[in-house]
């Protein structure tokens, strides 16, 4: 009995650590990427550098024995390619959104994803329908987002076109990559390697299609020294480092919690992003817009409250029954239920 409790506690804290790590990386990366794109105005090249850093970092650390990743094989690469394409599009639209809009607009559209992911999870992955309280919390997120958009004085067609493109791709990415994580059988660092290496291979295609390569070559021909200014180099380096960190924590957290809970985690941690954004930049939402933005984040907190309690109680009650019956088959089933419940309880 004590061994079961120890394992359960260890699993809870391990999952919590992954979720906290993802939350910190996610909240800081939005601000870091916005800072980087203002100093290094080449979104395609910036994302390619992030992919290169992550893929090379995993490979080098694996060579020195600091981590273990699954070997790269053509067969698995073919299976993972659609997920990598969706991931690439999500990052690409995200970077362009930050290029044309402020961080607040990015957060609001990011906040809409839990509702869409919950619907997609139920429709395509046959997950249970959200409870009434959970659905209410998701509607609060939607209402706050609508209020923000209605009062956004910085509205531009270009920015919101990228915003809607980002919304579609990030929703697809959240659900589809969750499906790949649960079914492909790679370890966490294996997913990081495949995801970033395949995305790096796709980068030149989009680099040419968008015409960004002409801007890069023109800038190199005019004054290559600006690229290595301390501020620009630091901004790009931080962006690449946090890209590697969020790749690890993102895939590890996806293994531990549901797609909707993972998405809401990404929304709730934006509280910190909002505070940093207001403190360091003057281009942010109006006071009413910030209230609407906080409304969407409050909806994320309400969602968290709606999914933490019942699963934990259900798990505890089933564990008591299993211990009393001393049935090995029921114990196996309990361990599986505990894993699912822990996904919600630890968010």
More confident residue, 289 or 45: 45
DSSP string of 121-189, one letter each residue: HHHHS-PPPPPHHHHHHHHHHHHHHHHHHHT-TT--HHHHHHHHHHHHHHHHHHHHHHHHHHHH---HH
How high does pLDDT run on average in the chain?
74
- Separation CA 273–CA 290 (nearest Å): 12
Paired tokens of 43: 């979104």
Mean pLDDT to the nearest integer, 248-277: 70
Name the residue among 187, 10, 184 with its Cα closest to residue 80.
184
65: alpha, beta or left? (left if phi > 0; alpha if psi -120 to 50): left
Q: Are 102 and 72 in contact (CB under 8 A)?
A: no
Percent of the chain with pLDDT over 90: 6
Band (201; pLDDT cuts 50, 70, 90): very high
Dihedral of alpha carbons 89, 92, 95, 98, sign? negative
pLDDT at 283: 60
Angle at the Cα of 20 (from 36 to 291), degrees rounded to 5? 65
Residues 6+ apart with CB under 8 A from 233: 227
44-48, 109-113, 275-279: the lowest-pLDDT one? 275-279
Q: Are 18 and 253 in contact (CB under 8 A)?
A: yes
pLDDT at 224: 54
Encode pLDDT of 70-90 as tens digits: 888 998 898 888 888 888 888
Q: What is the pTM of this model?
A: 0.64
pLDDT at 52 over 90: yes
More confident residue, 218 or 119: 218
pLDDT at 49 over 70: yes
Residues 6+ apart with CB under 8 A from 34: 98, 102, 103, 106, 277, 281
- Separation CA 137–CA 160 (nearest Å): 24
Encode pLDDT of 123-132 as tens digits: 776 667 667 7
The helix, strand and coil proportions of the chain, stated in percent and rounded to the nearest 5, come to 85, 0, 15
Q: Per mean pLDDT, which of 92-96, 136-140, 234-238 is the most reliable?
A: 234-238
pLDDT at 27 over 70: yes
pLDDT at 120 over 60: yes
Encode pLDDT of 159-168 as tens digits: 889 888 988 8
Angle at the Cα of 336 (from 334 to 337), degrees rounded to 5? 65
Q: What are the domain boundaries of the chain?
A: 13-308
More confident residue, 259 or 100: 100
Band (288; pLDDT cuts 50, 70, 90): confident
pLDDT at 343 over 50: no
pLDDT at 178: 66
Encode pLDDT of 177-194 as tens digits: 766 666 777 887 888 899
pLDDT at 317 over 60: no
- Separation CA 264–CA 113 (nearest Å): 8
211: alpha, beta or left? (left if phi > 0; alpha if psi -120 to 50): left
Q: Are 235 and 36 in contact (CB under 8 A)?
A: yes
Mean pLDDT to the nearest integer, 242-268: 73
């Amino acid at each position: 009995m004590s061994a079961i409790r120890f394992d359960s506690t260890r699993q809870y804290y391990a999952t919590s650590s992954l979720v906290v790590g993802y939350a910190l990386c996610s909240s800081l990366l939005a601000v870091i990427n916005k800072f980087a794109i203002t100093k290094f105005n080449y979104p395609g090249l910036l994302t390619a550098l992030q992919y290169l850093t992550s893929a090379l970092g995993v490979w080098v650390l694996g060579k020195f024995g600091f981590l273990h990743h699954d070997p790269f094989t053509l067969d698995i690469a073919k299976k993972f390619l659609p997920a990598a394409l969706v991931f690439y599009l999500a990052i690409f639209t995200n970077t362009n959104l930050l290029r044309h809009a402020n961080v607040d607009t990015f957060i609001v559209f990011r906040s809409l994803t839990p509702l869409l992911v919950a619907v997609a999870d139920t429709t395509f992955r046959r997950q249970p329908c959200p409870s009434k309280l959970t659905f209410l919390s998701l509607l609060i997120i939607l209402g706050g987002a609508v209020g923000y958009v209605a009062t956004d004085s910085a509205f531009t067609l270009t920015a919101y076109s990228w915003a809607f493109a980002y919304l579609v791709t990030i929703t697809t990415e959240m659900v589809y990559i969750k499906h790949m994580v649960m079914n492909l059988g790679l370890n966490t660092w294996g997913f990081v390697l495949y995801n970033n290496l395949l995305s790096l291979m796709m980068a030149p295609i989009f680099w040419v299609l968008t015409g960004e390569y002409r801007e890069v070559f023109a800038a190199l021909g005019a004054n290559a020294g600006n690229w290595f200014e301390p501020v620009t180099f630091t901004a790009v380096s931080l962006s690449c480092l946090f890209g590697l960190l969020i790749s690890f924590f993102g895939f590890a957290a996806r293994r531990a919690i549901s797609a909707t809970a993972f998405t809401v985690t990404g929304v709730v941690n934006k509280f910190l992003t909002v505070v940093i954004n207001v403190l360091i930049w003057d281009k942010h939402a109006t006071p009413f817009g910030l209230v609407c933005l906080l409304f969407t984040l409050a909806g994320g907190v309400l969602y968290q409250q709606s999914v933490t309690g019942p699963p934990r109680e259900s798990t505890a009650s089933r564990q008591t029954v299993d211990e009393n019956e001393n049935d090995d088959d029921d114990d196996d089933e309990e361990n599986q239920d505990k894993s699912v419940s822990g996904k919600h309880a630890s968010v």
